[in-house]
Homo-oligomer: A and B are copies of this chain.
Amino acid sequence: MEEYKKTEKNSAAKKRQAISDSSSKTDWSFLENTYRDRKVLITGGLGFIGSNLAIALCGMGAEVIIVDSLIEDYGGNLFNIEPVKDKLKVNIADVRDESSMNYLVKKMDYIFNLAGQVSHIDSMKDPYTDLDINCRSQLSLLESCKKYNKDVVIVYAGTRQQYGKPDYLPVDEKHPVHPTDVNGINMMAGEWYHILYNNVYGIRSVSLRLTNTYGPRLLLKHNRQGFFGWFIRQIIEGETISIFGDGMQKRDFNFVEDAVRAFLIAGANKSSYGNFYNLGGTERISLVELVELMLRIYGSGSYKIVPFPPERKIIDIGDFYADYAKIESELKWSPEISLEKGLEYTFDYYKKYKDNYF
């Protein structure tokens, strides 16, 4: 495992180097000075983005505590934090448990709030659980901070899902919201609680509305949390990918390290508090093009076009890609890792560690 850790560290360092070389606008030393020796809580920290964020924060010398309840079929996976497991603390707890959260938020400098039910499909089958996790527990976390830690900074993981089927493209933050599933509605409410508690109680909060995010540590166990992980798994398993609809739906994508960098920047910049920002990718490609790129990078595989299953058709949003000009101009974030490069990293990761993911 030591060897594994070294590889991970080196590869992270190499990637960082690659970013810096390509005229990155990110001031890494500012971020490192911001988070070094600071207490950071990551809810949902064993999940896909949370664990990547935890690894980045440990690398910067932050004192990281992860809260995760490892709910079956959600993204939490202890292997996700293998490279830093001795550098952080894992506290297994459910964000819906107010009493635990009351204790855990105390003395924190930053909370990256990524715990959530993220499956659109599951939210339609069981809207109450989605409500509990995406609304009630957000209120509960904010109430805990209001009572026990008003000085914390919270970065919330929001979603493009609240925009629903776009009226125009690319979708900016002025686009009307009209979510197409229960998850989108509840995550919209969850975001607004954060903005509200910022405005009313001065609990500094910012929300990032994520687009499709991919990369190492993405859940591959089932296909209910988006198509990306499922495509990766099918390619690795040598199965034929099924693309729903006509495959012409255009999307944008963020490599997870770009998303992680956005979280770090949003938390560190005072001017972000009380705001919400779209993330987005530079490339906008159809699902067919995405799959063809995946197959080329992986070196083998096949796909077919099939009709939408009815329960997915009714919540499908067609083309979607985000305008990220607001965060680019205000916080100097933009995506830096190309889809091609990101896919290479992703396949490399799962080739090595797939046994820990499915």
Task: Count residues of chain A with CB under 8 A from any CB of chain B.
Answer: 29
Binds B, one of A5-13, A192-200, A218-226, A291-299: A192-200
Q: Which of A125-154 contact B (CB under 8 A)?
A: 127-128, 131, 135-136, 139-140, 143
Q: How far is the CA of A344 from the CA of B291 in the complex (A)?
A: 69
Interchain nearest-CB distance for A80 vs B (Å): 31
Contact of A131 with B127 in the complex, beta carbons under 8 Å: no
Contact of A124 with B200 in the complex, beta carbons under 8 Å: yes
Interchain nearest-CB distance for A209 vs B (Å): 14
- A207 sits at the interface (CB 8 A): no
Q: How far is the CA of A199 from the CA of B182 in the complex (A)?
A: 12
Q: How far is the CA of A210 from the CA of B192 in the complex (A)?
A: 21
Q: How far is the CA of A174 from the CA of B131 in the complex (A)?
A: 26
Contact of A179 with B192 in the complex, beta carbons under 8 Å: yes
Which of A185, A192, A195 has the largest number of chain B CB atoms within 10 A? A192
- A258 sits at the interface (CB 8 A): no
Q: Which residues of B contact A196 (CB under 8 A)?
A: 179-182, 185
Q: Which residues of B contact A131 (CB under 8 A)?
A: 131, 135-136, 139
Interface string of A324-350 (1 = CB under 8 A from B): 000000000000000000000000000
- A176 sits at the interface (CB 8 A): yes
Q: How far is the CA of A135 from the CA of B315 in the complex (A)?
A: 20
Q: How far is the CA of A314 from the CA of B196 in the complex (A)?
A: 10
Q: Which of A164-222 contact B (CB under 8 A)?
A: 174, 176-182, 185-186, 188-189, 192-193, 195-196, 199-200
Known: A180-B200, A189-B189. 8 other contacts (CB 8 A): A128-B139, A128-B140, A178-B195, A179-B196, A181-B196, A182-B193, A182-B196, A185-B196
